[in-house]
Amino acid sequence: MSETYFLYHSIGMYPGKARDLAGAMAEFAFVWSKPDDSQWAYALGARQRFIDRWRAILKAPQHSVTTFENVTAAFHSLLASLPAGHLRGRKVLVGADCFPSVHFLLNGMAEKYGFTLHTVPMRQGQAFVEDEDFLAAWTPDVGLALLTWVSSTTSHRINLAEMVAHGRRMGSLIGTDITQGAGLIPYDVNVPEVDFTLSTSLKWMCGTPGAGILYLSPRLIRHCHPELRGWFSQANPFNWDISAFSYAPDIRRFDNGTPGVIAALASLPALDWHAGQSQLALLAHNRRLTARLIEGADDLGLPLLTPRDEAKRGGSVMLRLPEDRPAADVVAALRAQGMTTDHRSQTLRLSPGILTTADGTDRLITALGKLLRD
């Protein structure tokens, strides 16, 4: 049931999504199958509209955002594009509550690129990395720091302004992974000014897999030379002189071969829907329901892993289930009642969005209480 859908930290739904997605795919099938020459103008135009929707979300200038399959691929391309030796002998700083995929990537790249991966640990008994611990580890030898804006396992939100101000004093490159907050919590790449930003179009954006993005500050683009390059990395992709390659002067240099457009095209209806909503109303709706979930957790005696302070959390509520109530069984029992949640180990993850209702939230709390008592 849509009113008990709590998976906005994972995929994200909105009214009419199936209809809109089917329509976009049908239109693509029609245009791509026409025996004429309209295909590329249509496909690349849709991709550009997708990019422009993301620029509006990020408050980013023109020619500073491009598409990638996912956050990991975008981050890899950025790291490999940095000036030779920029990270050699320095540290790359992340928190232990970063998304595991980027940690796997950094671990694999450290030896080749000559940097030390410094992972700021969580305190004993704590479910997220404290801001002050991250700041204490952020010393002048940090060449690059990747900030997880909102944690996927606790919904802890960092004090981004404080982090970036400290990073500027340290002289580090500063990037943000905003996947768990994009589209719900207001975000601006210029306030505070970051060097790069990574995200997908899933979750609060309600898009599809494969529709990731990279923002890179225009002041840094010309210093980056992506290793993976191709005909679309040029200012003029139709330059056929194989001895005269030159990078585009803007973010297009991070494109390579023929761009994949399906994910952007499939996600565009969701981004169009999102752009037509009141962003304040979306956030207010989420805040009402997350407050109710926190109240319900207190009533049930469940430990709250998410900060209570609104300013310190994203849009999710994460609860620790008792060890004698396997989380997988709880999630399955809720699913059997039409309530969509998920878990990480014994952490129950709940993220209410536009389809979730107050009545649905109350039903979840009631059902959860009964499962725990039984």
Domain check: are 298 and 234 in the same one? no
**What per-residue confidence (pLDDT) applies to 36?**
97
Cβ count near 166 (within 10 Å): 18
Query: Do the domain assignments include residue 182?
Result: yes
205 in the same domain as 105: yes
Could you say which of 275, 301, 317 is where a domain stops?
275
pLDDT at 230: 97
**Are residues 263 and 288 part of one domain?**
no
Do 157 and 299 have their domain in common? no
Please report how many Cα atoms fall inside a 13 Å half-sphere around the Cα of residue 216, on the Cβ side: 27
Q: Do 144 and 214 share a domain, yes or no?
A: yes
Over residues 164-178, the pLDDT tens digits come to 999 999 999 999 999
In whole angstroms, what is the distance from residue 162 CA to residue 332 CA? 41
Question: How far apart (Å, rounded) are the C-alpha atoms in residues 257 and 61?
Answer: 24
Please tell me the predicted confidence (pLDDT) of residue 1: 66
Res. 374 pLDDT band, cuts 50 70 90: confident
Binning pLDDT at 50, 70 and 90, where does residue 45 land? very high
Last residue of some domain: 213, 243, 275? 275
Q: What is the CATH number of the domain that holds 96?
A: 3.40.640.10
| Mean pLDDT across the chain | 97
Count of Cβ atoms closer than 10 Å to residue 301 Cβ:
9
- Residue 18 DSSP label: H
Number of folded domains that form the chain:
2
- In this prediction, residues 93-100 reach a mean pLDDT of 98
Please report how the helices 71-81 and 100-113 are oriented relative to each other, as an axis angle in degrees rounded to 10: 20
Query: What distances in angstroms separate CA 16 from CA 3, 291, 347, one per listed residue?
Result: 14, 27, 31
Residue 237: pLDDT band with limits 50, 70, 90: very high
Kindly report, residue by residue over 69-92, the tens digit of the pLDDT: 999 999 999 999 999 889 999 999
Q: Is the pLDDT of residue 96 over 70?
A: yes
List, for residues 322-345, the tens digit of each pLDDT value: 999 999 999 999 999 999 999 999
| Calpha distance 157→137 (Å, rounded) | 18
Question: Do 8 and 59 lie in a common domain?
Answer: no
Mean pLDDT over 346-353 rounds to 98
> Rounded to two decimals, what is the model's pTM?
0.97
Name the domain boundary from 214, 249, 275: 275
Burial 81-98 (b: 16+ CB within 10 A, else e): bbeeebbeebbbbbbbbb
The helix/strand/coil state of 257 is: coil
Residue 97 belongs to some domain of the structure: yes
For residue 30, what is the enclosing H or E element?
helix 17-32
